[in-house]
């Protein structure tokens, strides 16, 4: 392994749990058109994705892992994540990891009749924990379609940096968009939820111990409304965050419009 087992597990929790403070519990690996080091994180379950109806409480994020050594180790330890299209339930996955008493090399992620199980040990007994499922390219594409429905063209957008705007303690940040669009007044605002609309600033930045990062809101006009994406970039990850069903109108601070 490129990383020592203890360090690998620390990074695994940092990228797949701490990044969104455990609020995005579905991770999609191997989706069509995604690179090996790109993972979708969301709170949308498989049935909700297949029967998608716009909901303001749905969030989806494309995470690019830039730590090449970690990515190599990840696929060596859990080859199923590279060889299949996997919907991983990260909460169940880490619950099993945290209880495991065997060496990292003895942990297995396996496919049994399209259900994904993590094989660990508790004392000397083997424990099988269901923590995901093998999904079709069509099902994975549904997640990509949902994200695309709320994505904006970065080159056509206006932006404002959030680096100094989101406190490590803030749960909600109100952003004034009036300064971005010259034809709208200063009451044109939107609300961002820490670890839902974007990464968990409080947990990830602190635990990753990073100071060199860019955190921005990107926005485009759609008629009288604005659609937002949030972009985060640091040496470890790039994250594009989308709230696909929501656009914001002038003089609106906390209540989104569902489309």
Residue 153: its pLDDT value, please?
82
Q: Are residues 107 and 219 in the same domain?
A: no
Q: What is the pTM of this model?
A: 0.90
Q: Are residues 166 and 249 in the same domain?
A: yes
Q: Which of 145, 179, 200 is the endpoint of a domain?
A: 145
Q: Which residue segment(s) compose the domain that 38 sits in?
A: 5-145
Domains in the chain, number: 2
pLDDT at residue 5 is higher than 80:
yes
pLDDT at residue 181 is higher than 70:
no
When the pLDDT of each residue in the chain is averaged and rounded to a whole number, the result is 86
Q: Are residues 140 and 63 in the same domain?
A: yes
Angle at 79 between CA 78 and CA 85, to 5 degrees: 105
Helix (H, G, I), strand (E, B) or coil at 196: coil
Reported as a pLDDT band with limits 50, 70 and 90, residue 166 is: low
Distance CA 15, CA 4 (A): 16
Q: Are residues 219 and 199 in the same domain?
A: yes
Q: Which of 145, 180, 206 is the endpoint of a domain?
A: 145
Residue 253: its pLDDT value, please?
47
Residue 169: its pLDDT value, please?
53
Length of the chain: 259
Residues forming beta bridges with residue 117, ordered by sequence position: 110, 130
Q: Could you report the per-residue pLDDT of 108-149, keeping only the tens digit for each? A: 999 999 999 999 888 778 889 999 999 999 999 999 999 999
Residue 69: its pLDDT value, please?
96
Distance CA 245, CA 247 (A): 7
Residue 173: its pLDDT value, please?
73
């Amino acid at each position: 392994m490129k990383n020592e087992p203890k360090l690998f597990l620390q990074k695994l929790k940092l990228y797949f749990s701490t990044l969104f403070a455990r609020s995005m519990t579905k991770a999609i690996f191997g989706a069509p058109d995604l690179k090996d080091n790109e993972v979708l994180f969301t709170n949308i379950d498989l049935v909700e994705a297949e029967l998608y109806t716009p909901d303001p409480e749905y969030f989806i994020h494309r995470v690019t892992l830039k730590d090449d050594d970690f990515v190599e180790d990840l696929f060596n330890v859990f080859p199923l994540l590279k060889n299949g299209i996997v919907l991983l339930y990260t909460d169940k996955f880490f619950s099993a990891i945290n209880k495991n008493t065997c060496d990292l090399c003895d942990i297995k992620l396996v496919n049994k009749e399209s259900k994904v199980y993590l094989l660990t040990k508790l004392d000397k007994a083997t424990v099988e924990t269901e923590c995901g499922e093998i999904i079709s390219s069509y099902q994975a594409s549904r997640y990509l379609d949902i994200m695309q429905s709320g994505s904006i063209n970065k080159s056509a957008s206006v932006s404002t940096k959030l680096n100094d705007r989101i406190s490590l303690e803030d749960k909600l940040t109100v952003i004034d968009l009036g300064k971005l669009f010259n034809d709208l007044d200063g009451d044109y605002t939107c609300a961002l939820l820490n670890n839902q609309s974007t990464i968990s600033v409080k947990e990830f930045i602190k635990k990753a111990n990073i100071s060199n990062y860019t955190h921005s809101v990107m926005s485009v006009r759609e008629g009288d409304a604005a659609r937002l994406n949030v972009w985060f970039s640091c040496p470890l990850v790039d994250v594009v965050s989308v709230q696909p069903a929501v656009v914001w109108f002038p003089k609106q601070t906390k209540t989104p419009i569902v489309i």
